[in-house]
């Protein structure tokens, strides 16, 4: 893990939450495809230093519990699903979706401490999501303008990188790297809006398209004079990207933004996962659906073009914000936002009631 390297010459400064593997914010974390847990089946997952089991009852609903039986610690992943409950393989204690023991077959009374931690778990966009407590503060995040609308959701390639997910999140806020890494000659200006609950922050990057070369003039003819994109983060676990904002095709027709969701999950110390999900509204009519699928294809092509170049950076980074510039204001604001987030019980050696501890 790079944070323990070069300590003598480049001491690592631990942040309260940002780039801190021991601090796990309250938020929605993606576990895996919903199809991986079939009816009356149980599936284990490991994330954020925690092992959990997810099982699907006969009613089709998902439930999630801590993986270890409170009796003698047997892994509940080797248990069996009975109706809508989970029975331990070792002594056959049975637990409901709230973590309460409902049956001890040996005939003795159920102990008062015979319960395990349950978790709020939901299906959305074809994936399973977990909240690190029994009751989530809100639903799995989505685009506000698409609330209640039917959407297409298409999974991109899962990326596993040896850096903390919050470091990976700064990518869309770094205006400098658009010019240096991707060779996109845009002078971006930044606007930031943080919601009062402290859980959500949105960054909007805007630019006037240049017209110095024939290629730039061609792009400006197609896209119009202005370009913008925005990145909305919720709990520093989910990012919602909109591109092609403020674009007018050939200066006349307003473009529908392309949309992507990024789910960020710390798997274990030194290993983070990013799951991209391409989103498009599902309109009525053949023409509308063809346009929607075309937008999805455009989103995929644009992301794949940028993804591999960015991957070179995050494969071996040792992130330290020691010498930030004025142009790095978005990165600095994001770090401040993350460090104020509320922490979950999955955090280690950190008081969940005090994010600044």
Higher model confidence: residue 154 or residue 343? 343
Distance (Å, whole) CA 261 – CA 274: 10
Residue 51 has pLDDT above 90, yes or no: yes
Place of tokens 């330290």: 320
Structural domains in the chain, CATH included, are 14-131 (2.102.10.10), 144-339 (3.90.380.10)
How does DSSP assign 245-314, residue by residue? Answer: ET-EETTTEEPPPEEEEEEEEEEETTEEEEEEEEEEE--SSHHHHHHHHHHHHHHHHHHHHHHHHHHHHH
Distance (Å, whole) CA 234 – CA 108: 46
Q: Can you give the pTM of this predicted structure?
A: 0.91
Instruction: Give the pLDDT of residue 356.
Output: 37
Instruction: Give the pLDDT of residue 223.
Output: 80
Distance (Å, whole) CA 128 – CA 317: 29
What are the phi and psi torsion angles at 223 (to 5°)?
A: -95, -15
Q: Which two tokens stand for residue 249?
A: 């095709």
Report H helices in the chain.
165-168, 175-180, 214-223, 286-314, 329-339
Q: Which two tokens stand for residue 322?
A: 């020691």
Cβ pair 344, 352 in contact under 8 A = yes
- In this structure, are strands 159-161 and 29-33 parallel, antiparallel, or unpaired? unpaired
**C-alpha closest to that of 164 among 265, 81, 254:** 265
Q: pLDDT-derived band of residue 285, with 50, 70 and 90 as boundaries?
A: confident
Distance (Å, whole) CA 280 – CA 33: 19
- Of the given ranges (61-70, 95-104, 162-171, 279-288), which has the lowest mean pLDDT? 279-288
Q: CB neighbours of 254 closer than 8 A, spacing ≥ 6?
A: 247, 248
**C-alpha closest to that of 96 among 63, 119, 70:** 63
Distance (Å, whole) CA 178 – CA 134: 41
Q: Residue 206: count other Cβ atoms within 10 Å of its Cβ.
A: 17
Rounded to an integer, the average pLDDT of 81-102 is: 96
Can you name the residues that pair with 272 across neighbouring β-strands?
161, 266
Cβ pair 238, 28 in contact under 8 A = yes
Instruction: Give the pLDDT of residue 209.
Output: 85
Residue 291 has pLDDT above 80, yes or no: no
Instruction: Give the pLDDT of residue 353.
Output: 45
Instruction: Give the pLDDT of residue 354.
Output: 43
């Amino acid at each position: 893990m790079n944070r323990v390297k070069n300590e003598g010459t480049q001491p690592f400064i631990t942040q309260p939450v940002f780039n801190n593997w021991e601090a796990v914010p309250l938020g929605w974390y993606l576990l895996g495809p919903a199809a991986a847990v079939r009816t009356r089946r149980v599936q284990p997952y490991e994330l954020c230093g925690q092992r959990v089991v997810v099982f699907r009852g006969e009613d089709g609903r998902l439930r999630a519990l801590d993986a270890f039986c409170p009796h003698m610690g047997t892994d509940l992943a080797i248990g069996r699903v009975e109706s809508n409950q989970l029975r331990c393989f070792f002594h056959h204690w049975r637990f409901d979706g709230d973590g309460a023991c409902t049956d001890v077959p040996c005939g003795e009374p159920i102990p008062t401490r015979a319960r395990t931690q349950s978790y709020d778990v939901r299906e959305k966009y074809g994936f399973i999501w977990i909240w690190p407590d029994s009751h989530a503060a809100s639903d799995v995040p989505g685009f506000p303008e698409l609330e209640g609308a039917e959407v297409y959701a298409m999974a991109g390639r899962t990326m596993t990188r040896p850096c903390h997910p919050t470091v990976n999140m700064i990518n869309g806020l770094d205006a400098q790297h658009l010019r240096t890494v991707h060779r996109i000659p845009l002078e971006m200006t930044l606007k930031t809006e943080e919601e009062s609950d402290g859980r959500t922050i949105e960054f909007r990057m805007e630019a006037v398209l240049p017209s110095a070369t024939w290629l730039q003039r061609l792009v400006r003819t197609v896209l119009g004079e202005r370009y913008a994109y925005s990145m909305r983060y919720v709990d520093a676990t989910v990012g919602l990207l909109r591109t092609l904002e403020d674009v007018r095709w050939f200066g006349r027709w307003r473009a529908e933004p392309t949309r992507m969701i990024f789910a960020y999950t710390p798997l274990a110390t030194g290993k983070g996962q990013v799951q991209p999900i391409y989103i498009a509204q599902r309109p009525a009519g053949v023409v509308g659906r063809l346009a929607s699928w075309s937008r999805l294809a455009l989103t995929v092509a644009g992301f794949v073009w940028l993804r591999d170049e960015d991957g070179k950076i995050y494969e071996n980074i040792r992130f330290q914000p020691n010498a930030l510039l004025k142009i790095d204001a978005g990165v600095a604001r994001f770090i401040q936002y993350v460090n104020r987030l509320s922490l979950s019980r999955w955090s280690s050696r950190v008081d969940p009631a005090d994010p600044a501890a």
